[in-house]
Structure 1
Amino acid sequence: MPKWIFQGNPKQFTINKDKFPDLHDLNQYVKDGKIIDWSIRQKYHMNEIKAGDEVFIWRSDGGEKGTGGVIALAEVITDPEVGEHVYPQAQLKVKEARLDEADGMVLRSKLKELPETRNLLIMRLAQLTNYKLTDEEFKKLLKFWNNPEILDEKVNKTIVEKYLLYYKDELNNFPQEFNYLEESYKFFQQFRDPEYIKTMEWEDFQKIGQHVNAYRMAIARSRAFGNMNASLDKYRESFLYLVHGDDSLERRMDQFLNNDQYKLFGIGANALSEMIGNIFPEEYCFFNQRDRVAVENELEIDPGYIRGDTFSKRFMKFQNAIKDHQIAEKYQELIGRQTDLPIYYEVDQFFSFIFDKSKDQHTIESESPKYWLIAAGENSKYWRYFKDKEQVSIGWNELGDLRQYKDKKDILETLKEVNELDYSPTNDALANEQFVREMKEGDNVIVKHGKSKVIALGQVTSQYQYDPENGPHHSYRNVDWLKEGEWDISSHPINQKTLTDVTGYEDFLDDILYKLEVKEEPSETGVVKEELAEYTTEDITRDLFIDLDKLEDAIGSLEYKKNIILQGPPGVGKTFVAKRLAYYHMEAKKPENIEMVQFHQSYSYEEFIRGFKPNREGQFVLQDGLFHKFCKKAQENPDEKFYFIIDEINRGNLSKIFGEVMMLIEADKRGKEFAIKTTYSQDQERFFIPENVYLIGAMNTADRSLALVDYALRRRFAFIDLEPGFHTESFKEFLQAKGISQGFIENIISLMTDINNEIVRDKVNLGKGFEVGHSYFTPQGNIEDEQTWLERVIRLEVEPLLKEYWFDQEEKVDELLSRHQ
């Protein structure tokens, strides 16, 4: 039978006074009520909740931090019924209540310290009332409820021990790769015999591609082992040296990667470390991204990397750190051996487990809910099923349970094989990978119809689920549908992929949500309120990689000056910062109160303020410009704040664009009493800028081709310098949330600090305004291969910029970039 958590907020909880006249608050209601009523607000659970179901009653903090958690164990005694209440009600029989820690309640703060419970849905999505538990989740909570001392004991364990005990409980549920590893082990053990390497043929070397994860992608395997890139003797000589050479392994690895005598095309650092882990698995663990993230980010073990460490040096430091913290010994003590394979194969699977769990944790702590655009089949033929079943699902039933695949590459290869394709279905593989791993509870889904309409908005309320008996599609997630209708969005191009993450497309997303007029769910009084998403200090410090003192300067200047200009080098995200400063200043996320324009050399007064422009019939008529319309909108809503963002403000002819309105920009010239007649005013019409309008400009300090901002305009603005945010904690946390290891993050910071210091020192040609910003290193999705991702960013984005800066000093650029190797 299903198991549940029902949540109540002590500050907002309402009790039927006619039915329970002597009960006055949530605590008393649960302790003394015996038989009590509880709202069922998540309607998709209506048909699942039945008499006999077991329920944990959860009290939220309700303003008293540290007091939330499980306070009672109860049983449902009536099916939910629709009555005179706003929401259906179910009756509960309270079996046992414990209202504080001394009585043995299960504190939320303690559950959040354990890796196995900090990902409960109630931790991810705290605003719901009814939460369904898996059998495993219920068993864990029941164990802690029945034996509070076990929870206390676990909380006091080290991080490594917590994860080991968690892994022990999940061994049967975690898809391990021991069969694949055993085959790799057998293959690479042949390399321990030097005579085998001496007699290897090209076909033998090609088999390496079948036993190294780095070559799971066909293109990488083809590069390295499709055709011989050197003589057969060189392949033999290189591997003989790598495995049996007289030098230390660290030096042999370094020579294998960098010395032309041993270097082989297509075999990079990641593949090399995996081969070493397979050849000497009793001594060395793999050193792939998953292992590094597990050790450095989650287990908080610092291998002690320093600037200038080679890959082989970092490899050795990583191995030493694992040994110093006795990971293998603790593994054998707390879990015990699971196979006959060498120990570090099992340790690697433990690290893979940690890596997978870390994705969920970082999603909870570091990311806002995402928005997904999803198709409901051709002509939305599955929409009615989506609605009735309160779910979204995805096709490709031939793949089976998507959790069995390690990553997108696995899915892609299976799609090609099963469907006998002669091309790579990249978008299909990505859709499945995102649906199973990236989509989370609390995310929002927008159902599209054709190329120009959307028909529904919902909130994801479950983890990925697979059921071969489920409707047209076997892979699905539960959804709480919030809005249904038909909205025209033909002004925006709609991606034709089945599933698309549109979170980063702000203009597109803002327009859709504005048209949908997103509402909150009904209040207790049944009145529907407009949703107003708060934007707090916590939000802006997470979103922006800037110091709080700089943020305080910007907000303070915006408050008293009403006009600011954000200036900085390429890639510091000036327009991104501008919009979030506006949100923070108005204390809410209201994109409809923000207008944005980009100035250019041809931009005119007629476009900005007012002028004669052609209409659809080709006739010239007087029309209000963008800023004129914006000010009118602000005048009609004096109790709200409005923000006009001007990107590339120094690219326009400012005197020409603003004209006589330039005088009104000043903070003390706002309001109706300062209204003036403009060039195209009609009769006695006058124009003014209301006091609730704020201007935010953005300009690139590395733009050498343009003159400084007009002095008349300059004195009317406060100038805020934005700098690269590599040094901020939020930048590090952002990259960690994308699956990048701590050591690799430090490498990026070190490299970019070196590059920017060199740029600042070049005062003749460059200087501080030409630094390289952090935006180059802010990927949208999770990074599965951090080495390849960084190399592409450097090669395709950073290097061209530096070569433009130092067009006559190419060797200087090469030397700077070589520091990240």
Structure 2
Amino acid sequence: MGKWIFQGNPKQFDIDTYIRENDIVEWSVRQKQYIDEIKKGDNIFIWRSDGGNKNTGGIIALTEAVMDPFASEEDFKVQLKILERRLTVEEGMLLRHELKEIPDTMKLQIFKISQLTNYRLSDDEYKRLLNLWNSPKEVKEKLELSVVERYLYLFKEEARHWFEENKEYLDKAYHFFEQFKKHDNLKTLEWEEIQELGEHINAFRMALAKKRALGNMNAPIEHYRNSFEYLIHGNNPINERIDRFISDEKYKLFGFGGSVVSELIGNLFPEEYCFYNQRDKVAVENILELLPNYSRGDSYAIRFLKFQDCLKQNEIVKKYLEIVGKQTDLPIYYEIDQFFSFLFESFGKAEQIPEDDESPQYWLIGAGERGFMWDEFYQKEIIGIGWEELGDLGRYSSQREVADALKEAFQLDHNPTNDARANYQFANEMKIGDYVFVKKGTQKIIAYGKIVSDYKYEPSRKLYHSIRKVEWITTGEWETKNDRLHTKTLTDITPYEDYVERLLERIGKETKIVYPNPNKPIEVIKENRTPYLLEELLAEVFINEEDIEEILDTLDYKKNIILQGPPGVGKTFVAKRLAYLHLGYKDDSKIEMIQFHQSYSYEDFIRGYKPNSQGNFTLKDGVFYSFCKKAVNDQENNYYMIIDEINRGNLSKIFGELMMLIEADKRGKKFAVKLAYSEGEETFYIPKNLYLIGTMNTADRSLAMVDYALRRRFSFINVEPSFHTSQFSDYLISKGISQGFIDKIVTGISEINQEIISDTINLGKGFEIGHSYFCPTIEKVEDEQKWFDRIIRLEIGPLLREYWFDQEEKVNGLLNRLT
């Protein structure tokens, strides 16, 4: 039987009266993917949202479906029999804000996406909720516990099963290391025994790491014997032995970094030390919220020992034994490490933090031939790599496997070393925290950014399916002069320190014009400032001249506009071109682009306290604060902040007290206010030369309505599909598309859009297909049919199937119109 949570909002109907006065109730099934999955007999909790009354929401009833979902006039519904109702705290309802604080329930989907109606529960989630429902006082009891104790009680419920699954592996590791560490065995240690470490060290779970360290001997066998003898039985303190084993030429072993050594020590001395690999650090520091007393400059071994001290000071072993109890006959820190592994698997995987003892790498990447992918890289804040024939790069365990796949896919008679290395490095060696230069040709850098995500495979993307998210630090166009750039798609330039420094110096330089009058301020002008005229915009954005003039007038008058429309109409592209036109020339230094999301905060946008590398909190300026200061210091020029997906953020929370100041008539120093986070008597204001341009996707049903207080401060401008415009036709002609083929596109997509508009129940005008799906960024389309088929197969088809997921025949019929 299925297990579910169904949510109701007291703002929309009197949910309490409805539940209290009826034994059988009807509930909407708004998440259409569940219509065929909800069945008679399923158990369903009813969840009342806060509805604007803070900390009043939560679970108020337990029900059972008495029939399968059925179609009603409005939507699909299901009838529920109320088994038990508790509408108040006194009656024993489970409060939302309390469930969010205990690990048993804090990972529920309803906390991540709060605006849906129907949520699936796993068997474990339902069991935990049912236990709390049957004994609601346990919620209060758990809230009175320390964070560590809350997680230990949760692990207690899972411990027996957890150790049943892992005991064989743990027993083998324990007995292996008991033999490995004996004096006599170390003196006669052979390479095969050292290679066996790979079966017991999690840090070697990646095939590449294992192969590098243990594939072939990297030193004479005597060096391995002496190194392990020193680490295990040396006379120096353990911290000195660890640091020397990692970094001293006399003892260090290739491929044996900090994480490996941590696991070695944990396995060799399991009664004294816990492992200190990434999983353990995430569990202790991120989840249990215990902070070892690290200091800047600590060696790896000192951090290792401070971690151990932290466990002792917080009595982790004692609490574990009291709450969970000994589960095996193994040494205690084997069990403690497994507790941490459970936390990492259950609560830590979303936060994939890079190893803090690794220095960042620097990469040089191309943006496609002649930089044709740069616009997408910039707008989507990504970098990508091609070779779609390879599929998901994460499935290759070595560069050789990538090379073999390339040879097979392209029937090559040579070994594609560079291409294989580029793909493998992109997926496996590039990491969060690294820095990347984007090149155009062999003598221009056009961007510099920081990698902020792990490798992702997204086959639904138009061109590049293998991507990483990037936080752009600076963009522009810089000649590298004598430093010719590598022609390879991706190059690790970290080893060439002087080369990296010269590139960094290049992108940090600006041309300064100093006026003869020493009292006149220096004007900073970006090199190669390019005029941007109305004619150029009209050719690029497919909006008529009259509408453009009206938008510019609105921007002048209101200072804040939002471009809204369906996906694929180029709202972000239009926003940047409008800024260029309003400014009069192209200058990206006067344009800041950001994207709002559900976790975006006032501290990110305006100002707030954030931790520094030393673990202290310091006051940091947010992106809007810094950009306003930049505009204040350059009153002769206009500045533009483009906020993509503006309605994805909690706007009142993000703007805070600046809600008033963004109004056109509240700009300037006389309206300055003291911020929530300010120093002394410091005040802040938004200058008159700063403009806000937001974008909104009207097809995003998961978004809440834009806050009314903010809505009246913006003018909303519709951006619509432009298939019937002459600019669209001219653009495709310039890309080598035949007029007959253009007519076919316009007719076919227009018919589909009419079907979308006509579906007023599920879709409507805000869900139309935009023209940008059919705007190639390459210089010429060599095979228009192949280009068109790919768009239909990889983009339009999946989109329509998402729109009408339960009407396959209808989708196939619409797609057939395009053939």
More relative contact order, 1 or 2 (CA 8 Å, 6+ apart): 1
Q: TM-score, normalised by structure 1?
A: 0.49
TM-score (norm 2): 0.49
